A and B are shown apart, each in its own frame.
Chain A
């Protein structure tokens, strides 16, 4: 047995002070049962002292038959900290909407206490449950226990990453489609694309139920599925009057904040010019009792968001301006097939689909996937005259 006596961690101990819950306390708590966590804490203390990380560059480890779901992690100081010489991350695919029962959480906790550090993230940035730190030999047993308990691994590498969704219709009156069901269905449909990386780079799908976009699909998803509606905002005049009576300044805080000025407040009557409404959600956010999204619901499909690596950050842009909720799953499946075919054929190594579109141009991309251009796809038409006309159109 290695020396279990905990050496002092003077810098990290300072992070146990203050009112916000402390990750250092969590590591110490886990260290009472698994001494690897004490090694982790001490390696981290030396990072704090030296202002640099002490993890080696990844490594290929995993479970049989999968090409992802496990992130290899090795300490760069294995002599000092042998118990974290291997300290791999396991990504466990979360249930849609991050709902759990206490029993499910205890099952996960028990599995991870038996096979790993006992440290977790609830959740990682993409949405997975993160099991933080175990030996290579424990990967397969952990995986076996997880699958016996009904859980599976999430995505990593150049693969479909674990799709995620907002809470949707489970607890939100604004969800314009069933985000949790779509997320769950897509995840199950594309298990092979998640578990066996075969794409040029990562591909993320995020399902937000309304334009408030609680899972940041616009900023983070290669395919962003954001709920919206087509018909008029549902309006309850009595409830509007209640907000006014309670002191809400409807002109200033609702009408004047409307981006298209499609609302008017006159003599105690709110009128909305719904043809001008861009479904931004502001008025509904401010008066949820009085205003609701319409009944003709569905989603906008947007494409291409990513963080800066490799060639700069992108926000998603409109690809399909509206798909009715009942047609959404079929349309998304058909679209994914075309997107992935085009990307597979034309994408370079480590080129996200958004960067591919930047490189080949939206027009060529649309040709490639068989969609017609529409004005909803652009903030404005081009302002430069450098147009590449097709040869057959100008002879």
Chain B
């Protein structure tokens, strides 16, 4: 007996593991946590934004992460990246330093780093990128992102697909594009999965309701008739009087009067009737007005799944999601009322305990019966599809979760980066600018795209020096610029300004031109003093005014390294934006242009610098979507998320 005092407590108390994750287990349960812990994530780019993203993935406990980057830490990083050690990290590999500091947040997470150029690695070992469960590419060059996207998109089953998140940020704005080929989500966590079938009751429920008498004179009994029973009876009564048709919202008042007519005069304890009236919207009108689950119907989104080719043609490679969708279709076909399986959940309501338990049993028994039928059908589906293991191939918990959420499934079928660029959804773009309520954020996408084109042509980002740009992206601009080929009118200018004697670019400071130590070392005038703002940068433009415009461009580019000029950059960027605007089908004479132009100016002004509130917020947004994808719970954004810190808005677009 000596060991008993702790036995029960120790066997029922949570482990340290679940204590640590307690607050999140209540969001995605142990199934979601297990998926998270199995994941291995690749983060490309060791910078302040990626450190925030990784922090938000390490804390909830992903399986492992790997940071890929060959850059070293420089002083400007220290100011914005919380996961570098002052006085220690400087000059070392950013990927290594970040990996080791971030790993201290959670010893359950495996951390790795790879000091290699992402571009080089993509060219030499594409298979490396396919070995992760998720890839997050942070502030990488557009052509790298596109090549990576092409690579990951080409993965075919049975190899698991690798979703790709591509993030860009500049000052107060940021965006994320999500490449998901296909993601079937079962646990979408709708507001409620309660399905009372009031307007389409099953026989056992009808029988249960019949055992009550609304005209009883016993006040205690009367005030404890559950609202479900009140509504079932009143709906029957209404239908009997109205030729079998249920009440519509138009006849709401009359129906409420009908309900109230059964209240017991003088009985003040009739909250069950209040509950019945309060439940009308949720459990009667809404189910009736649509193919809402609560009416025993099949929502249109689920019917779409039934028609999908993947549901139609099954094979041994079919995912569990599709096997179960097919079983669901067969279940509905076999159901006398053509209904989905019942969830069996019941809301709290005023009633006697025994009545409540009785009612609960009616719903539960039906739900259990439906689950058994579904499982049997699923077994047959699996066998027919040639799935190894047949009916036992799918875990019982997974089946249960699927049946519970059968009315709320969500299929995300995304687009690749190439599709988005070559065949953008121009209607979505038009809608983006028409939102009457929310501030429009889409213009920033155009600015980011234009900025990419600018970069290809000028070997730097608008508003920032080449040194800064090169370090931001950490790559050899000469190679990129030439191999990709700039537009013909600029020919080989792409990398023209790159000086030979600059030494190892990785050692260069990641600072904007006006602070670059390097330039001072080179004996060049720094243009403006440290701490200048845009106005001062604009001033330097004045010096350029004497130059001719186009024919001098080449010469200008030579100087751009030292003196990016605000107005000139805005002009050049606007030129790049033209083709983007055209490809997205945006009319050039509307208000859109003003928004776009403002955004372009902001892009130049901020020069792709990192601002802590933006990286913090975006780090949260990116990790949140990553978690939804990894856990296959909740519905992730699809597929372009744009944050605007100036208007304090965040929009989601399907481009």
* A and B interact: no
Residues of A within 8 A of B (CB): none
Residues of B within 8 A of A (CB): none
